[in-house]
Structure formats: structure tokens, C-alpha cells
Amino acid sequence: MKTAKYIRVSTTEQNIARQRDKRYKNYVDKCSGSIPFDERPEASKLIDDVSNKKITHIVVHSISRLGRSTIDILKTIEYFTERAVCIEAEKEGFRTLDKNKRENATAKMVISIMATLSQWELEMASERRLEGIAKAKERGAYTANGGRKADNPAEWITKPKQVKIIKRLNAGQSIRDIAFREGCSVGLVQKTKKQAIELGMMGGLDSKTEKLNDYLKRVENFVEGLEE
């Protein structure tokens, strides 16, 4: 078993010696807890090492260190669990997997409660959004899509997030892996892939052989063809 310890401390907390563990490789992020897990420098290295099967067991002081929100934490746990990587939470006193790599019953219960809370948070946010829309309609200030002009496919596919997704797709990464690393939904990755295929943009953005400006030039030529 290849074990690592992940540590996240705030930018104002200087002393991390008490959290380090000499028995393991330590990944230490000194950053705000509001930053998504996969966007933290050391967490990103940990994800890469897990992908390369260098790490099979991760120790954290608390599962709260694994994301900026309940949803982010659940995504992180799911990502590692799918790769048979056990997370050991010292504060909560459980491991997500047992010695046979099966999900731990206690951990499943805690994660299930977290998922319920996460769903509640989403429903509350949706309720507040709908209430806001209703009030805006009463004032006559509401317009669909926020009053913005809908993007055409060529404009939509060249947005920064979509460009990053296409680069990862062409590098051979899986849809779920890309969604996790880019902090977006699986649906967005699938939509991006579908649009890129329809526009003839897939297969030409190999990060090892092509630069991004070559890709954008192709999009520009495509748009010019639409305008002719």
C-alpha cells in the first residue's frame, strides 16, 4: 500500500509541523479553503500520482480538507473511490475502503448524509433562484437567458473552459476525469465533445503536436465560412 498524507492549511497558519507525518509522502497546500480541491497545486500533483497508480491510500486530518463545499468533497471522494484509493479521515475516524477495497459501511453512511445535505443545499439554492426570478418578473425586469444573446455553436466551443476540455479529450482523458479536473459537470464535457465533433474540431488538437492558436485559427476559418 502506497500511502500519502494530504494537508491543507490556511494562508495565515504558519506551523504545519504537527500535521506532517514522516511515514508518508506529504502533499501540503497552503491556500484558502474556498479553492476547489483539483485547483490546488499539491492536490493536483496528488491526483496525477493517483492516476499513475503511485498512491493507493490517502490520509487527511478531516474530510473537510478535500474540497471547498459538500459537493466538491463528494466529487473528490467519488473520484478516489472509483480508482480503489482509500481515504482515511483522522478526525472522523473512518476509512472509505476496507482491506479488500470494498466500501466501508460507516464511511458510506457519513457520505450518504453528506450527499443528502448537498442535495438540500442545491434545492435551497434553486428555490432562492426561482424566487428571485418570480420577483424580477413582477418588476418586469426578467428576461430569459439574463437578456444575453445566445451563443452560436462556433462561439460557444471557443470559450476558455470548452477549449481546455477539448485539449484534454484529445489527450485521451476520460469524460469523468476531465469533469473532475475542470470542476464541471459530466454533461458539459459530453456536450463539448458532441459540438466539437459536429464542427469537425476533434482529433486535431493534440497538445504534443499542435498549439492552441492553430486550433483557434481553424475555428476562425469555420466561422468565416458560415458568414460567406
pLDDT digits (tens, 9 = 90+) for 123-140: 777 777 777 777 777 777
Given the residues 10, 62, 174, 185, the one annotated as active site: 10
Give the per-residue pLDDT at 207: 45
Give the per-residue pLDDT at 6: 96
CB-based contact 104:97 (threshold 8 Å) = yes
The DSSP element (H or E) to which 214 belongs, if any, is: helix 212-227
Residue type, 20: R
Give the per-residue pLDDT at 205: 42
Give the per-residue pLDDT at 149: 55
SS3 57: strand
pTM equals 0.57
How confident is the model over 41-86, as pLDDT tens digits?
A: 999 999 999 999 999 999 998 888 888 887 888 889 989 999 999 9
Residue type, 99: K
Residue type, 147: G
E strands of 45-196, at which residues? 57-60, 86-89, 94-95
Measured in residues, the chain has a length of 228
Low-confidence residues of the chain: pLDDT under 70: 1, 11-15, 115, 118-119, 121-122, 141-152, 202-228
CB-based contact 52:46 (threshold 8 Å) = no
How high does pLDDT run on average in the chain? 79
* Best CA proximity match to 77, nearest among 48, 41, 112, 25: 112
Give the per-residue pLDDT at 221: 59
- Is 10 an active-site residue? yes
